[in-house]
Chain A
Amino acid sequence: SQQGEEDPQALSIQEGENATMNCSYKTSINNLQWYRQNSGRGLVHLILIRSNEREKHSGRLRVTLDTSKKSSSLLITASRAADTASYFCATGPTGGFKTIFGAGTRLFVKA
Chain B
Amino acid sequence: DAGVIQSPRHEVTEMGQEVTLRCKPISGHDYLFWYRQTMMRGLELLIYFNNNVPIDDSGMPEDRFSAKMPNASFSTLKIQPSEPRDSAVYFCASSRQIQETQYFGPGTRLLVL
Contact = CB atoms under 8 A, between A and B. Distances in A.
Contacts of A96: 98-99
Contacts of B100: 48
Contacts of B45: 98, 100-101
A101 B91 CA distance: 13
A38 B99 CA distance: 23
A30 to B, nearest CB: 6
A42 interface: yes
Interface string A82-111: 000000101010001111110110000000
Nearest to A93: B99
Contacts, number: 47
A33 B105 contact: no
A41 B107 CA distance: 7
A40 to B, nearest CB: 8
B56 A99 contact: no
B101 interface: yes
B102 interface: yes
Contacts of A88: 43
Contact of A103 (B42, B56, B91): B42
B106 A42 contact: yes
Q: 7 closest Cβ contacts across the A-B interface?
A: A42-B104, A92-B99, A43-B104, A45-B101, A103-B42, A101-B43, A42-B106
Given A98-B45, A98-B48, A99-B102, 19 more contacts: A33-B101, A42-B106, A43-B43, A43-B91, A43-B93, A43-B102, A43-B104, A45-B102, A48-B100, A96-B98, A96-B99, A98-B56, A99-B98, A99-B99, A101-B42, A101-B43, A101-B45, A103-B42, A103-B43
6 contacts: A30-B99, A33-B101, A42-B104, A42-B107, A45-B101, A90-B102
